[in-house]
Amino acid sequence: MEQVQHRVRVLVVDDHAMMREGLRSVLEDYHDIEVVGVASNGEEAVAVVDHLRPQVVLMDINMPRMDGITATAHIKARHPCMIVLGISVNADDQHRDAIVRAGALSLISKEVGIKQLHEAIVESAQLNNEF
């Protein structure tokens, strides 16, 4: 009998199309991740989480219309168990503190390799008993 493979359902949120599609493409190469959708700003992310039901949201901090910190607070208010991982080129203490206060698990620098990002996604899903 074939074992059922559980995949972590991920929503990628970033205002730069190349970053969104690049993350989607490389994450989909992992057998244990399913990118269920992308959003180009925080407002769009808040609107689609109810429908897409991701386990993990990769949330850029600096975006137009609604920044990632505000979007994280909205998402966590409606879905307290949903994991949000902030991503930013500005992964300093100030940004990390702000997104964690909004409800994110952590802030990951966009400078890290995809392997480290994959590990952070899988580990966060395991912490939440979703994987």
pLDDT at 90: 86
pLDDT in tens, 8-26: 999 999 999 999 999 999 9
pLDDT at 128: 73
Tell which residue, 54, 66, 68, has the closest CA to residue 108: 68
Q: What are the structural domain ranges in the chain?
A: 8-127
Query: How far is Cα 9 from Cα 57, in angstroms, rounded to an integer?
Result: 9
Q: What string of DSSP letters covers 75-119?
A: HHHH-TT-EEEEEES--SHHHHHHHHHHT-SEEEETTS-HHHHHH
pLDDT in tens, 42-51: 999 999 999 9
pLDDT at 54 over 90: yes
pLDDT at 2 over 60: no
Fold of 8-127: Rossmann fold (3.40.50)
